[in-house]
Structure 1
Amino acid sequence: MNSNDHQQDRDSKQRDFGIFWALLPLIVMIGVMLYTVVALEQGPHIPLIVGTATAALVALKGGFKWKEIEEMMYKGIRLALPAVVIIILVGLIIGSWMGGGIVASMIYFGLQLLNPSYFLVAICLICAIASIAIGSSWSTMGTIGVAGMGIGMAMGISPGMVAGAVISGAYFGDKLSPLSDTTNLASGLTNTDLFDHIKHMLWTTIPALVIALGVYAFLGQNVSGNIDAETIATTASVMQESFLISPWLLLIPVLVIGMVAMKVPAIPALVVGAVLGFLSQLFVQGDTVTAALTALQEGYAIETGNALVDDLFNGGGLESMMYTVSMTIVAMTFGGILEYSGMLKSIMNQVMKLVRNTGSLIASTIGAAFITNATCAEQYISIVVPSRMFANTYRKMGLASKNLSRALEDGGTLTSVFIPWNTCGVFIFGTLGVGVVEYGPYALVNLLCPIISIIYAFTGFTIAKIDEGGGGTGGKQEPAEVRSELQHV
């Protein structure tokens, strides 16, 4: 079955829901989420389960059988399985790299080389370069981002600021990398040449990065005056006493990043990183096999008497990611019912009614992608669903497809980090240890790109017409990876 046949088969099983019934599960979930998370300060899992139960009841009312609803949930979970595997591997890497002294070496040399006044700028640019090279924001955050969090915390910088700078750099690079899966997906689904798509995104991502770096520089000047040099020196000294610090250990993250840059799939590259971290703990740090296995399973544990060092190096391991894995699975059951029942399509049809001109079309595309991120909790769906819904409208209005592909990225990929139950939001929480409320205001590239894109849409700046080039008349075959992705969705 090709991708178009699969799409038609899926659509034929969907129902038309009234907007009230389509929105009801989302309204219930958000209401319970606000009360549970904000008022009671509990986790988001139960509200998502309540939302899933509500969606299932609405689907039953709409004529679906329970067996069909179960299959919708399973389809949603299957879509998230690659992300679950990566989340688990990142947990293994963090545990083994902490135990192997790799993170300690990265933080130690980072403290020697980086000044607090420009640290936020530096970590953002480092993550951007790494992410362009390897095409993965997650891999960048799971390696360089973890070390960056440690350096920033040792300098006394707010974890939210550091995480925001890491996220901004990682997603900036991800969007402009020809190796990025979401970048290839957005260009392939819209029949846009990959490099036309990337060049068109420069108009939103470059201004967003420039503004972000300016803000980070300003913030750095303010925080640098509060940094205690003695605390940094003490932290570095305790790390030297607790770990064997060596620049040779830095070759391990360089190797992992190099493997991904050379198009080695992420999972084998991360496995190699975890194995090398395990061996480093055994043969460099001199720990026992039991201690190294414990770091992989339960996370690394250390007691130095220095609270900051203990906070930095107690963590990681497979078990530390189970919160993230469980929330990903629960969120995808909710998203699966909304997507495959037709509730999401009913919501999107109402969004389409807002389209009056180019500005409202692109703004609606960005809004629809964001809604999909919130309802289906997965950035891939936030690209796939709106791309199918808006493609014909862009053609009818004479707009080049690269406008659509850019809007999908600005509204879908970049905003996924602002939804706590989205796979991206839970990954960041599990990896960097910071929640959306803390890092959200500082993830400036992700915040600014959708805003800049909407401004361009209503002013007409950088908006290309079909006769101006930019691809998208529908003559190109979808690449194999896009067809494969569609078969999952």
Structure 2
Amino acid sequence: MDEKKITKQYGAIAFLPLIIFLGLYIGSGLYFTHQGAEDAFSQFPRHVALLIGIGIALLMNRTMKLDEKIEVFSKNAGNSGVMLIGLIYLLAGGFQGAANVMGGVDSVVNFGLSFIPPALLIPGVFLMSSFIATSIGTSMGTIAAMAPIAIGVSAKADINVAIACAAVLGGAYFGDNLSIISDTTISATKGVGCEMKDKFKMNFFIALPAAIVAMIIYGMVGGIGQIEGDLSYSFIKIIPYIVVLVTAMMGFNVAGVLFIGIIMSGIIGLGTNSVTILEFVQAIGSGMEGMMSITVLAILVSGLIGLIKHYGGIEWLIEKITSKIKDRKGAEYGIGILAGLLSVSLVNNTIAIIISAPIAKEIGLKFKIAPKRIASLLDIFACALLSMCPHDGGMLIVTGLAGVSPIEVLQYAIYPIALIISTIITIQFGLLSTAEEKEYKKSLKAS
């Protein structure tokens, strides 16, 4: 079969199945949002929208037999990288469920809140949200845990509740962006082929200045308050989170690390009589079930992207993007904007990263951008832009609980703005470049 012929024949049209999927999912979500429906973006299941897109892809290219197209889809959907992503997703869900049922989340929250001084209430809320999100690997879970506390404290202390909401959101996305068990981190690192510890370091040095700036400003405008109530915690129940974070940072296999975290959570839970064996097993199952949807989605999207690539779509897109890009800076901006716009459109940073990662990887290869750099850009832009959307799930939670409008909260969206600025600075001045990237830049100057 003549691959060049296929590329020439399809080009941009190869993306029609993906456009149909996005159109159905986003369009229905916006429609039901306008109608005031609850869980608007769940009314038309994304898996069904994706299945329709896959069906369109299989109907394209009549020069290929259906069996051949299904073979291309299956090889890409079931490649080792995608299967590893799925395994890590499920283990991460199992660990979250196991650690939560034995009281780990409550202990993490109360441990952090116990050390927040009254004069630094809002910076403390940001820091606590960051700590929790990094530990448990989910911004939504962090927001659900911290928002009621932050809102209650701000009400008692007569502090602007919108600032408290913004601090919760900023901290949650900061931690989620760094966490090695976050689905966004898993998708970004495995999607472009880099180690989680390398991506963590890259992300950390970009995000840390933004976090420091955010906490300083929150300290200046946040006011003074006092956290009251029962803040009891058990440090032993925090240990599984610490072990998972430290061992993953040391370069241990993440799947193995998460499995150890699950076992440790069970031993501690049973040893402290916090959970029965049946409750422990059921919690693991519930956590894995919670990640099943995104696992299946990742598999199906990978298969669809494989067909699009086979039809010449990826090659066409890279040629179009790179024809407008004159240098490595432009390539990095292009990668970030691609992930950010998809995240805002899909209202889901994980799906945005899953879709954009293979495209970003190809662009990175052309411009010699290190995989850890690509993974960081994907995760940063997908998280930062989504966190400033009025229709983001986290925003809807905090504004619903606090009774304020998204516009009020967005006035204090200090962290995501600082993060974007920090990222732009690293791109513009070529900071945090690897040795290979520096050598590539020298070769360009020499030529």
* TM-score, reference length from structure 1: 0.62
Partner of 2:114, secondary structure, is helix
Give a deviation string over 1:56-100, Cα, whole Å, max 9, x none. Answer: 333x24x33323322333213433222221221122222222221
User: Does the alignment pair 1:57 with 2:59?
Assistant: yes
Q: Deviation of residue 379 (structure 1)?
A: 6.0
Is the CA contact (8 Å cut-off) linking 1:335 and 1:377 kept in structure 2? no
User: Does the alignment pair 1:328 with 2:323?
Assistant: no
* Aligned AA (1:105): S
Q: CA RMSD in A?
A: 5.0
Question: 1:341 aligns to what?
Answer: 311
User: Does the alignment pair 1:96 with 2:98?
Assistant: yes
Q: Deviation of residue 262 (structure 1)?
A: 3.1
Q: Deviation of residue 206 (structure 1)?
A: 5.5
2:137 equivalent among 137, 142, 147: 142
1:277 equivalent among 239, 253, 265: 265
User: Does the alignment pair 1:153 with 2:153?
Assistant: no
Number of residue-to-residue matches in the alignment = 388
Write the distance in 1 (CA, Å) between the matches of 2:361 and 2:421: 21
Is the CA contact (8 Å cut-off) linking 1:209 and 1:445 kept in structure 2? yes
Is the CA contact (8 Å cut-off) linking 2:78 and 2:299 kept in structure 1? yes
Is the CA contact (8 Å cut-off) linking 2:98 and 2:265 kept in structure 1? yes
* C-alpha spacing 1:267/1:357, structure 2 compared with 1 (3 Å): closer
User: Does the alignment pair 1:109 with 2:86?
Assistant: no
Write the distance in 2 (CA, Å) between the matches of 1:104 and 1:435: 20
Question: 1:267 aligns to what?
Answer: 255
Partner of 1:264, secondary structure, is coil
Give a deviation string over 1:235-269, Cα, whole Å, max 9, x none. Answer: x38xx7xxxx5222222322222322332211111
Is the CA contact (8 Å cut-off) linking 2:339 and 2:382 kept in structure 1? no
Is the CA contact (8 Å cut-off) linking 2:322 and 2:363 kept in structure 1? no
Write the distance in 2 (CA, Å) between the matches of 1:170 and 1:342: 34
1:470 equivalent among 434, 438, 446: 438
Question: 1:310 aligns to what?
Answer: none
1:166 equivalent among 172, 177, 186: 172
* Aligned AA (1:320): G
Write the distance in 2 (CA, Å) between the matches of 1:90 and 1:282: 20
* Aligned AA (1:153): P
Write the distance in 1 (CA, Å) between the matches of 2:253 and 2:413: 27
Q: Deviation of residue 181 (structure 1)?
A: 10
Write the distance in 1 (CA, Å) between the matches of 2:113 and 2:435: 53
* C-alpha spacing 1:273/1:173, structure 2 compared with 1 (3 Å): closer
Partner of 1:113, secondary structure, is coil
Q: Deviation of residue 339 (structure 1)?
A: 3.0
User: Does the alignment pair 1:37 with 2:29?
Assistant: yes
* C-alpha spacing 1:363/1:118, structure 2 compared with 1 (3 Å): closer
* C-alpha spacing 1:153/1:83, structure 2 compared with 1 (3 Å): farther
Question: 1:4 aligns to what?
Answer: none
Is the CA contact (8 Å cut-off) linking 1:149 and 1:162 kept in structure 2? no
* Aligned AA (2:306): G
Stretch moving more, 376-385 or 144-153: 144-153
Give a deviation string over 1:127-157, Cα, whole Å, max 9, x none. Answer: 7xxxxxxxxx9x7443899567524433338
* Aligned AA (2:438): G
Write the distance in 2 (CA, Å) between the matches of 1:339 and 1:372: 19
* Aligned AA (2:66): W
Q: Deviation of residue 16 (structure 1)?
A: 3.1
Unaligned residue ranges in structure 2 (runs of 5+): 33-39, 153-163, 344-350, 387-391, 399-405
Unaligned residue ranges in structure 1 (runs of 5+): 1-8, 128-136, 299-316, 392-400, 421-432, 476-489
Stretch moving more, 160-169 or 46-55: 160-169
User: Does the alignment pair 1:119 with 2:124?
Assistant: yes
Partner of 1:377, secondary structure, is helix
Write the distance in 1 (CA, Å) between the matches of 2:333 and 2:85: 29
User: Does the alignment pair 1:385 with 2:362?
Assistant: yes
Q: Deviation of residue 385 (structure 1)?
A: 1.3
Write the distance in 1 (CA, Å) between the matches of 2:214 and 2:149: 23
Q: Deviation of residue 468 (structure 1)?
A: 12
Question: 1:394 aligns to what?
Answer: none
Is the CA contact (8 Å cut-off) linking 1:90 and 1:270 kept in structure 2? yes
Write the distance in 1 (CA, Å) between the matches of 2:142 and 2:193: 32
Q: Deviation of residue 353 (structure 1)?
A: 2.8
Partner of 2:365, secondary structure, is helix
Question: 1:69 aligns to what?
Answer: 69
Question: 1:24 aligns to what?
Answer: 16
* C-alpha spacing 1:438/1:354, structure 2 compared with 1 (3 Å): farther
Partner of 2:64, secondary structure, is coil
Write the distance in 2 (CA, Å) between the matches of 1:14 and 1:321: 36
* Aligned AA (2:168): V
Is the CA contact (8 Å cut-off) linking 1:26 and 1:375 kept in structure 2? no
The share of aligned pairs that are identical, in percent, is: 16
Q: Deviation of residue 386 (structure 1)?
A: 0.9
* C-alpha spacing 1:51/1:461, structure 2 compared with 1 (3 Å): same
2:244 equivalent among 231, 243, 256: 256
* C-alpha spacing 1:254/1:324, structure 2 compared with 1 (3 Å): same
